[in-house]
Amino acid sequence: MDSTRSRLTRAGQIVVVLVTAALLVYFVVWPIGNVLRQGLWANGSLRFEPLTDVLSNRRNRRIVGFTLWQATISTLVSLAIGLPLTYLLERRRPWGAALVRALVLVPFALPTVVVGIAFLAFFAATGPLGELRIAQTTTIIVVAHVYFNVAVVVRIVGPRWRLFDERPSMAARVLGAGSWNCWKATTVPALAGVVVNAAAVVFLFCMTSFGVVAVLGGPRNTTIETEIYRLTTQELALDRASGLVIAQLSAVLATMWIAQRSWRRSEAVKLRVAEPMLHRRRATAVTDVVMMIGAIAFVVTPLTFVVERALRDDGLGFRMLARKSAFGWSPIDSVKQSLQMAVWATVIALVLGVVIAVALSRRWTGARVLGPLSVLPIGVSAVTLGFGFLIALDRPIDVRDRWQLVPVAHALVALPIVLRTLLPVFQGIAKSTREAAIILGASPSRVVRYVDLAVARRAIGTSAAFAAAISFGEFGATSFIARTDTPTMPIAIAKLLSRPGASTRATAYAVSVVLIVIVCVVIGLAGIQRRGRLEVDR
């Protein structure tokens, strides 16, 4: 009886793993593979023309150069601002540090198109963006990327710097070493790996940025990401777009390799946590106050300009939300569409995330293949994924015009974040707890329900909030597959900005305000869930 039950349980696990793997292969591997095939394969033979065109074509060389240049500058400036801010928040810890730490993370949770429109409003005092000089426009892109990615530096470097033990540095000072030598001998080895990891992640985000460049770049400041979108949607030059995708994918994989390698190096450095120093609060200095005020102003100022622009002319933008636009839909319809897509995307991402986390943590048969498949979307840009949907999902059944494809794309983009949140929790559940439930007569499904899901319920709530926030702001993949009659909020903002007229632009700002409020509420719920989980863990 027990052996029969064991065989049935194992067979059920294999079926679940196979079905999950098949879905990921169809919606992730198959589209990406078709993008590669489109660029490298024609008439039954291998070709390299799309790749050589990336280097031989003058426009492509300029686009690749600008992409790498703005990503490099954005990364360096993000580190220059983020590292001192991280030191302030994690080591000096002045009064209000917790509030500023939470506030600094807000821009990263915002959709990229909203960050773009925030700086569009911020610099609008000098005239419409199209009238700005090219150098000014490039500067705005860099500043917007820095605004978006300082939170990445704080989020990645902060936990490591928080646990840094100052006792070796103090001992070196007692022995007569200067400040520079102490810093070079103790702080640099402990933080070098994690700083390189943060730089690689920021560079990756800046290189694959779509919403910011699409809103702020204009016709001259084009990156690989926006050029892929232009070639596929305006010129229908799929082979040329595929060549750029392959070039970008190569750069992304190299950057991810650097990030992973540096993260492993940082984990290899063992830190001893000195509890008295970790919780010591230093006196707040004038420089601390200045930096705190500067951080708050840096986060809040662009968003206030969005609100101000939406409230102009007695709230013209908000009054236009319920009116039908020139595109045939009303902005309030895009809000409803985003809410609907977010609900479906959250459900899909949670189901996939929980199944994969349970399978990996309990080492189901064949589950190891699910790990690489589930994190693959973070290794390619959302535009590449949407491009793959466009050219691959017409067989065996053409599903490219189905509205269900939009939440699927959102769920796949959110899946790596969801899995990263859930997997450590499921891996932390003691095996003895599950075994005790089985001894008491619980079936495998009841063990999952009353042990795994019960322990992970707060992590599931946090994952749901993150998945919803990502869905609300997803712009790259959605721009390829969204239906024109029912756009999501980021698509609606981009379309409204593309048309002239004060009322149309005011409506775009009003939709942005609605989107900011929704995302902030959702991320706030994620923070509540996460804080509650930490309190339970203590």
Q: What range defines the domain where residue 79 resides?
A: 48-319
- Residues in CB range of 472: below 8 A, 6 or more apart: 111, 338, 342, 488, 489, 515, 518, 519, 522
Q: Is residue 365 part of a domain?
A: no
Q: Is residue 517 part of a domain?
A: no
Query: How many beta carbons lie within 10 A of that of residue 351, not counting itself?
Result: 12
Question: What are the C-alpha distances in Å from 92 to residues 185, 187, 320, 528, 532?
Answer: 21, 15, 47, 25, 26
Q: Is residue 66 part of a domain?
A: yes
Residue corresponding to tokens 């991402």: 349
Predicted local confidence at residue 284, as pLDDT: 55
Residue corresponding to tokens 């024109």: 484
Token pair of 340, please? 């609907």
Residue corresponding to tokens 């793993």: 17
- What distance in Å separates the CA atoms of residue 444 and residue 428, rounded to the nearest whole number? 18
Q: How many domains does the chain have?
A: 1
Q: Is residue 300 part of a domain?
A: yes
Q: Is residue 38 part of a domain?
A: no
The answer to whether residues 530 and 457 touch, using CB atoms and an 8 Å cutoff, is no
Predicted local confidence at residue 64, as pLDDT: 83
Q: What is the pTM assigned to this prediction? A: 0.75
The answer to whether residues 54 and 244 touch, using CB atoms and an 8 Å cutoff, is yes
The answer to whether residues 355 and 13 touch, using CB atoms and an 8 Å cutoff, is no
Predicted local confidence at residue 183, as pLDDT: 60
- Residues in CB range of 220: below 8 A, 6 or more apart: 134, 137
Q: Is residue 188 part of a domain?
A: yes
* DSSP character at residue 125: G
Q: Domain holding 77: CATH number?
A: 1.10.3720.10
- What distance in Å separates the CA atoms of residue 261 and residue 253, rounded to the nearest whole number? 12
- What distance in Å separates the CA atoms of residue 469 and residue 345, rounded to the nearest whole number? 10
Q: Which helix (H) or strand (E) holds 41?
A: strand 41-42
Q: Is residue 389 part of a domain?
A: no
- What distance in Å separates the CA atoms of residue 82 and residue 85, rounded to the nearest whole number? 5
Local confidence pLDDT in tens for the 538 residues of the chain: 455 556 656 777 778 888 888 888 888 888 888 877 776 776 666 666 666 777 777 887 888 888 888 899 999 999 998 888 888 877 777 777 777 777 777 787 777 778 887 887 777 654 444 444 444 577 888 888 998 888 888 877 777 777 666 666 666 666 666 655 666 666 666 677 778 878 888 888 888 888 788 777 766 778 888 888 787 777 767 777 777 777 777 777 787 777 767 666 655 555 544 443 444 445 556 777 787 888 888 888 888 888 888 887 777 778 878 777 777 788 888 888 889 999 999 999 999 988 888 888 877 777 778 877 887 777 677 777 887 887 788 777 777 778 888 899 899 888 888 887 788 777 777 666 666 766 666 666 677 666 777 777 788 888 888 888 888 888 878 877 877 777 888 888 888 877 777 778 888 888 888 888 888 888 776 655 554 443 333 2
- What distance in Å separates the CA atoms of residue 105 and residue 156, rounded to the nearest whole number? 11
Predicted local confidence at residue 169, as pLDDT: 62
Contacts 24+ apart (CB under 8 A), 25-28: 25/373, 27/389, 27/393, 27/408, 27/412, 28/373, 28/376, 28/377, 28/385, 28/412
Reduce the DSSP state of residue 44 to 3 states and report it. coil
In single-letter form, the type of residue at position 185 comes to A
Residues pairing with 41 in the sheet? 46
Q: Is residue 303 part of a domain?
A: yes
The answer to whether residues 91 and 281 touch, using CB atoms and an 8 Å cutoff, is no
- Residues in CB range of 482: below 8 A, 6 or more apart: 406, 488, 491
Predicted local confidence at residue 373, as pLDDT: 80
Positive or negative torsion for Cα 16, 19, 24, 27 = negative
- What distance in Å separates the CA atoms of residue 64 and residue 165, rounded to the nearest whole number? 42
Predicted local confidence at residue 536, as pLDDT: 34
Reduce the DSSP state of residue 167 to 3 states and report it. helix
Residue corresponding to tokens 């409020």: 517
